[in-house]
Structure 1
Amino acid sequence: MKKIEPIAENTNYTAVNMGSLDEIKDHSLIHPKTQQLIEGKVFLKESTKSTGTEISFNTLPPKTELSYFHIHTNNEETYIFLKGSGDFQVDEDCFPIKEGSVVRVSPSGVRGLRNSSDEPMVYMVIQSTEGSLGKYTTEDGRRVDHESKWSL
């Protein structure tokens, strides 16, 4: 089983290495609710000490489907597809997805997916509380003068 490796940490950050996209399949975990072994999935909230999002990287073998449909109570999910292709279903709507597809699903949307390709599907899921994002990107950011520590 592959482990997340710490890179660096200080008051304002935590940096980790989960490995390459091809190595996600080597991660596994015991699902906290079902107690089932899940292979090809890595959650990052705990290792990065995140307080506002849960991010997971996932693999789905060729010609398989996620073994369950699900909803959430509070959190919306954004799925970002990095490799492979297939179909995504939300409620009664089913549509094709492929590398580069991005799907946001509200908490009450019943969701599931399948990999119809001949290669492993790799995707990330970002989970956050619906409606919690106030100011963001350029509205929240502010430039500051700061000296870089890397050499050119």
Structure 2
Amino acid sequence: METDFSVVDPETIEAERFPESGNRHRKLTDALGCTEMRVNTVTLEPGEATTPHAHERQEEVYVALDGGVVEIAGESYDVAPGGVVRISPEPARSVRNESDDAAQTWVMFGAPPLGTVDDFGEYTVPDGERE
């Protein structure tokens, strides 16, 4: 029987490394049983940043659990702990940790859930941004 809810401790999901940047992330979509969105966490050590990217049709919402900086279309924005950011599909975006001493974790939601949990689908990295 399918349930109508899920409770997941992200720490129970094995952390993986993004191939482009090496950042740690946890894929929560399957564990949560999501069918209408994709959910991941990304943890950045001091000085780390995600690779700038865009999506063809996927809107994203980011929650900065520990605060941080989001860059959207070349503009940087400070995000307070617990702050929420919505980004339409087209602009290039990335998040970074400008702190000197603490990891920062972001929860990232994408809808519609394009591709699979293994292949993010319609994920594009602007020329010259791949690490």
TM-score (norm 1): 0.62
Q: Report the alpha carbon displacement of residue 59 of structure 1 after superposing the two structures with TM.
A: 0.7
Deviations, residues 1-47 of structure 1 (Å, cap 9, x unaligned): xxxxxxxxx4233535334xxx48x832365xx5x795631112222
Q: Report the alpha carbon displacement of residue 115 of structure 1 after superposing the two structures with TM.
A: 0.4
Contact 2:23 2:48 in 1 (8 A): no
Runs of 4+ aligned residues of structure 1 deviating over 4 Å after TM superposition are 36-39
Contact 1:80 1:102 in 2 (8 A): yes
The match for 2:31 is: 47
Residues 125 and 17 (structure 1), Cα distance of their counterparts in 2 relative to 1, 3 Å cut: same
CA–CA distance in 2 between the matches of 1:39 and 1:112?
A: 12
CA–CA distance in 1 between the matches of 2:110 and 2:63?
A: 11
The match for 2:111 is: 128
* Bigger relative contact order, structure 1 or 2 (CA pairs below 8 A, ≥6 apart): 2
Residues 129 and 65 (structure 1), Cα distance of their counterparts in 2 relative to 1, 3 Å cut: same
List gaps (5 residues or longer) in structure 1.
Answer: 1-9, 131-152
Q: Which has the higher strand share?
A: 1
Is residue 116 from structure 1 mapped to residue 98 from structure 2 by the alignment?
yes
Q: Report the alpha carbon displacement of residue 106 of structure 1 after superposing the two structures with TM.
A: 0.5
The equivalent position to 2:8 in structure 1, one of 8, 17, 26, is 17
The match for 2:129 is: none
* DSSP-derived class of the 1:89 partner: strand
CA–CA distance in 1 between the matches of 2:55 and 2:78?
A: 23
* DSSP-derived class of the 2:26 partner: strand
Rg (Cα) greater in structure: 1
Q: Percent identity?
A: 22
Deviates more, 1:95-104 or 1:119-128: 95-104
Contact 1:81 1:123 in 2 (8 A): yes
CA–CA distance in 1 between the matches of 2:97 and 2:35?
A: 31
CA–CA distance in 1 between the matches of 2:45 and 2:5?
A: 31
Contact 1:28 1:42 in 2 (8 A): yes
Is residue 28 from structure 1 mapped to residue 34 from structure 2 by the alignment?
no
